[in-house]
Amino acid sequence: MDNSSHDSFADDIYISTGQAAKILRVSPKTVARWAKDGRLPHILTLGGHRRFPRSAVDEVARRTTVF
């Protein structure tokens, strides 16, 4: 799923799959699966790599934090 048309993330900082995985405390494969399933917005680089809006990753981290 390529969400490059999302204007809400136009001014956001984009991070790699590995960086998103560290923030979310999951494996990079889990981040890729969530992106594929539409749970995590992303764009694709010209080289085919996913980049994730930092604000969206932070929001998912807040929603999935277990206390």
Q: Which of 56, 27, 26 is closest to 39 using CA atoms?
A: 56
Q: What architecture (CATH level 2) is domain 7-64? A: Orthogonal Bundle (1.10)
pLDDT above 60 for 1 = no
As a whole number of Å, the end-to-end CA separation of the chain is: 31
Higher-pLDDT residue of 65, 44 = 44
The per-residue pLDDT for 15 is: 98
pTM: 0.79
pLDDT-derived band at 64 (thresholds 50, 70, 90) equals confident
Quick: pLDDT tens for 20-58.
Answer: 999 999 999 999 999 999 999 999 999 999 999 999 999
Checking if the pLDDT of 14 tops 50, the result is yes
> Which positions ≥6 away from 34 have C-beta within 8 Å?
40, 60
